[in-house]
Structure 1
Amino acid sequence: MAFAHTHAPEPWLSILIPVYNVSAYIGPCLDSVLAQSADDPGIELILLDDASRDDSWAQVEAYAARHPGKLRLLRHPDNRGLSAARNTLLTHATGRYVWFLDSDDMLLAGAVAGLRDIVHRHQPDLILCDYRLLDDTQPSQSRRKSRMQRTHTGPSRRCMDDPVTLLSGLLTCRQPHAWSKIAKRPLWAAAPFPEGRYFEDIAVLPSLLAVTRTWWHTATPWVAYRRHGSSILATLNEKKFHDLVLASELLQQGLSALPVAAHPKVAHALEYFQLRTFCNLAVQVKTLGPEFDRICRQSLQRIFPHGTRHAIAYCRRRGWWLRAWRAQRKLAQAGWLT
């Protein structure tokens, strides 16, 4: 007698959470996800322990025991970093869409329902969501007043297939992080994160956008992003400095290779993105010494062949007078105004 083989339906969404030393935050993160996904069999939730040294993973295991069959747990025997953790998680994901969520952040109410509606109605390759900033570095009164941050200039709430608008809107908002971009799994598979480096979200952006054909911006905050003292940007050491410069160069090379790179809107937006990045570096470079100043000057020559004043002039043409003034002041103080 022949027996028919039955297969579980493919999940429509994989939520992937790397975990490393987030004892104070993993509970609220999981609460926010499970509150919206526990009753949906079409969502798989996969977590990976990147060799945490605190009780983060013990908390995850306790959640898994309270929600049997809902959490899939993976482990790295040694700490390999965020990029490696995300890459491992992706190889185990089976959902049509993939959403990377950092374990110190949270999903806001209605996020999964909003995503589900867009996916079922329109099936875009890429969905961009806005977020709320929770700043733990500020006093409690300021922290309660969380700010909404846009990740794209729009248009919003409609399915688009215009790569010029996609790139220019993303670069102008300067929000490259992976957790605000929910994409079909093959798109993320085409954009593996560079292991052993910081600022991996910037480096993979060209690969992700190169395979995106349709996209949607929600103009709705779905993620609560937590900024705290141990965040990557809180202390820009030598390793992070090197990696940020490298990520900026990879972004320049990758986006410049795209067919729409020569479009004025894309070219100006990329120049603006890089201008803001090097303004941030200009503030830090004095604390790191002359070798890092030399590295930045070389990178500036490659990224701004027409000089940094050209990018500042674009800000003025857009009416961004204060941004232009701040950029000119920071670059002049570092001796990078060319």
Structure 2
Amino acid sequence: MSDGSSHAVHARWLSVLVPVYRAEKYLLECVASVLGQGDDGVEVVLLDDASPDASGGIAAGLCRDHPGRVRLVSHASNAGLSAARNSLLAHAAGEYVWHLDADDIMLPGAIDGLRGVVECSSPDLVLCDFSVLRARSGLKHRLRGERHRCSFDGGARIVGTDRSRLVAGLMRMRCLQAWSKIARREVWRQAMFPHGRRLMQDVAVMPSLVAATRSFVHVDQPWVGYRRHAASAWSAPGEARLCEAVDSLRELKRGMAALGELDDEAAFAVDYYCLRTLGRLSARLSRRSGIADAVIAPAIAELFPSGMAPTLAACRARGWHLRALRLQMGLRARGS
């Protein structure tokens, strides 16, 4: 289903894609954060993924209230986040595409900042920073730098074409969320999300996004307000979801290796990211060792056939002795 008036495609330089599911508390604020930046060349495309709450009605009302700027598509039954994002990509009309979760917001000045980058250098991919939004934000959160979280470690406001630099910069900051990566529509359409995946979908598509990118720019400003919830899919992942996370790591590692010609620093950054993530998963499951043994240990054996020792040695060579020790302690019962 589709609603909203149609404008000429050439007038749309940016499509903001918002999957909608159980978002009745946040959807109005999310859409207002985009429309309030006053750019008629920006469309918001909402997808109602058969949400059981009032989100669908709110989305329909937004479409009626903002004809030509907000469009609504829908799924007949709930298909999940990956399928929703893929459907949204199929309906996007803008030259560039920006994924935005329905409970997050676009920060003031983001669209003007992006337009400036596009007009100046027209990169395939723009990487932006973000702020963490909490119901209660205290001193400890400010000290952690949650007002400005960097998404890329590899230089800012410089047009890059080096694939190894892109991969290393992404992996070092471990910020692989889709909403911090604005890309040309044809680039994002080559990075379709794995259907049915509920954990780490964004991680799985990174190799395809990198492969389709010829030029990129990192903007060292927070453009997205990411809402951190107390409860999430990570709160108590069961074996099925843990397997999905491992599947995403497998696709990340294999996909990056398949790119070819990555330098040693980029290859190490991918290995370290994968091993660190497995360590964090193992720590979350420390009280359920049966699940961890069934999933984590085989994953280490598959992703690191030579064992963890080479990656740990590379950590120590960089002076990361404490990081290497934490990895070794966290995974000592899972791999060798």
Q: Give the TM-score of the pair, scaled to structure 1.
A: 0.91
Q: Distance in 2 between matches of 1:318 and 1:143?
A: 28
Q: How does 1:109-128 map to 2 (within 5 A)?
A: 109-128=108-127
Which residue in the other structure is 1:276 paired with?
Answer: 276
CA distances 1:91-124 after superposition (whole Å, capped 9, x unpaired): 1111111101011111111111110000111010
Q: Which stretch shifts more, 312-321 or 140-149?
A: 140-149
Q: Which secondary structure does the structure 1 equivalent of 2:234 belong to?
A: helix
SS across alignment from 1:283? helix
Q: 1:337 to 1:144 in 2, by over 3 A?
A: closer
Following superposition, the deviation at residue 141 of structure 1 comes to 3.3
Mapping for residues 154-165 of structure 1, pairs under 5 Å = 154-165=154-165
Separation in structure 2 between the aligned mates of residue 26 and residue 142 of structure 1, nearest angstrom: 28
| C-alpha separation in 1, matches of 2:33 and 2:9 | 26
Equivalent position of 2:138 in the other structure: 141
1:315–1:324: 8 Å Cα contact kept in structure 2? yes
Moved more, 285-294 or 310-319: 285-294
Distance 1:174 1:217, change over 3 A: same
Gaps of 5+ in 2: 1-6
Measured in 2, the distance between the counterparts of 1:323 and 1:104 equals 33
**Paired residues of 1:260 and 1:266 also in contact (CA < 8 A):** no
State the Cα deviation string for residues 6-55 of structure 1 (Å, max 9, x = none): 9552411111000000122212211211111xx32211110000011111
The CA deviation at 1:292 is 4.3
Q: Which residue of 2 aligns with 1:131?
A: 130
* Contact 2:133 2:226 (8 Å CA) reproduced: yes
How far apart are residue 152 of structure 1 and its match?
A: 0.9
**CA–CA separation in structure 1 for the residues paired with 2:222 and 2:163:** 23
Paired residue for 1:233?
234
Q: Once the two structures are superposed, what CA deviation does each residue of 1:209-238 show, in whole Å capped at 9, x if it has no partner?
A: 111110000011111111103433233222
Does 2:294 match 1:297?
no
Aligned length: 326
Aligned residue in 2 for 1:3:
none
Equivalent position of 1:95 in the other structure: 94
CA distance in 2, matches of 1:236, 1:143: 26
**Structure 1, unaligned runs of 5 or more:** 1-5
2:18 touches 2:100 (CA, 8 Å); kept in 1?
yes
The separation in 2 between residues aligned to 1:60 and 1:275, in whole angstroms, is: 40
Separation of aligned partners in 2, 1:255 and 1:144: 33
Counterpart of 1:232 in 2: which secondary structure? coil
State yes or no: 1:285 paired with 2:285. yes
1:141 aligned partner, one-letter code: G
Structure 2 residue aligned with 1:310:
310
Alpha-carbon distance between aligned partners in 2 of 1:313 and 1:98, rounded to the nearest angstrom: 40
Alignment partners' CA distance in 2, 1:62 and 1:214: 38
Q: CA deviation at 1:288?
A: 4.2
Counterpart AA for 1:107? M
Name the CA shift for 1:238/1:79 in 2 (closer, same or farther; >3 Å). Answer: same
C-alpha change, 1:252 and 1:187, in structure 2 (3 Å) is: same
Q: 1:312 to 1:134 in 2, by over 3 A?
A: farther
CA contact (8 A) 2:285 2:291 kept: no
Match of 2:52 in 1: 53
Does structure 2 retain, via aligned residues, the 8 Å contact 1:276–1:327?
Answer: yes
Matched residue SS, 2:116: helix
| 1:71 equivalent in structure 2 | 70
Q: Distance in 2 between matches of 1:318 and 1:66?
A: 56
1:336 is matched with which residue?
Answer: 334
Provide the rounded CA distance (Å) in 2 between the counterparts of 1:304 and 1:159. Answer: 34
> d(CA) in 1 for partners of 2:134 and 2:320?
25
Report SS of the residue matched to 2:16. strand
Q: Deviations over 1:231-273 (max 9, x none)?
A: 3323322222010011111111111111223x21111101111
Q: Cα RMSD (Å) of the superposition?
A: 1.9
- The alpha-carbon distance between structure 1 residues 8 and 90, as it changes in their structure 2 partners (threshold 3 A), is closer
Q: What residue in structure 1 maps to residue 220 of structure 2?
A: 219
Secondary structure at the aligned position of 2:101 is classed as coil
Deviation at 1:282, TM superposition (A): 1.1
Give how far 1:58 is off: 2.2
Q: Which amino acid aligns with 1:237?
A: G
Structure 1 pair 311–40 and aligned structure 2 pair: CA distance change class (3 A): same
| Matching of residue 189 in structure 1 with residue 186 in structure 2 | no
> CA 1:24–1:302 in 2, change beyond 3 Å: closer, same or farther?
same
Is the 1:135–1:143 contact (alpha carbons within 8 Å) kept by the matching residues of 2?
no
Q: TM-score, normalised by structure 2?
A: 0.91
- Deviation digits for residues 176-232 of structure 1, max 9, x if unmatched? 111110011111111111110122111111111111110000011111111103433
Q: Could you report, residue by residue, the CA deviation over 1:277-297 in whole angstroms, capped at 9, with x for unpaired residues?
A: 111111133444525413321
CA distance in structure 2 between the partners assigned to 1:141 and 1:252 by the alignment: 36
State the secondary structure of the residue aligned to 1:155.
Answer: coil
Distance in structure 1 (CA, Å) of the matches to 2:330 and 2:133? 27
